[in-house]
Structure 1
Amino acid sequence: MPSISVTMIEGYDDEAKERLCIALTGAVRQVLPANPEGIVIALNEVPAANYMRGGKHKQPAPALPDAARLVREFLGHMEARDLNAASAMLADTFTMAFPGGVNMNTLDELIAWAKPRYRFVRKTYERFDTASGDEGPTVYCYGTLSGEWLDGAVFEGIRFIDRFEMENGLLTRQDVWNDMGEAKNG
Structure 2
Amino acid sequence: MSQSPSPYNGETVALARAFLDAMEAREIDIARSLLAADFTAIYPGRRSFKVLEDLVASGAARYRKVRKTYARTYYVPQDAEGIETVIFSGTLTGEWVDGKVFQDIRFTDQFRIRNGLIVEQQVWNDMGEALLVRSGA
TM-score (norm 2): 0.89
Q: RMSD of aligned C-alpha atoms?
A: 2.0
**Pick from 109, 115, 119: which aligns with 2:64?**
119
**One-letter amino acid of the structure 1 residue matched with residue 21 of structure 2:** G
CA distance in 2, matches of 1:91, 1:154: 34
Instruction: Confirm or deny that 1:146 pairs with 2:93.
Output: yes
How far did residue 114 of structure 1 move? 1.2
2:46 corresponds to 1:92: no
Q: Give the letter for the 2:127 counterpart.
A: M
What is the SS of the residue equivalent to 1:22? coil
Aligned to 2:73: 128
Matched ranges for 1:29-44 at <5 A: none
User: What SS does the corresponding residue of 1:152 show, helix, strand or coil?
Assistant: coil
Letter in 2 for 1:167: R
AA matched with 1:180? M
CA distance in 2, matches of 1:120, 1:155: 10
Contact 1:129 1:140 in 2 (8 A): yes
Where do 5+ consecutive residues of structure 1 fail to align?
5-20, 27-63
Q: Distance in 2 between matches of 1:128 and 1:85?
A: 22
The residue identity in structure 1 corresponding to 2:56 is I
Runs (5+) with no aligned partner, structure 2 = none
Match among 69, 75, 85 for residue 20 of structure 2: 75
Query: Amino acid of the residue matched to residue 166 of structure 1?
Result: I
Larger radius of gyration: 1
- Paired with 2:56 and 2:21, the residues of 1 have a C-alpha distance of 15
Shift of 1:136: 2.1
**Counterpart Cα distance in 2 of 1:95 and 1:173:** 5
Task: Give the TM-score normalised by structure 1.
Answer: 0.66
Q: 1:104 aligns with which of 42, 49, 52?
A: 49
Q: Which has the bigger relative contact order, CA under 8 A and spacing at least 6?
A: 2
User: 1-side partners of 2:25 and 2:63: how far apart?
Assistant: 16
Length, aligned pairs only: 131
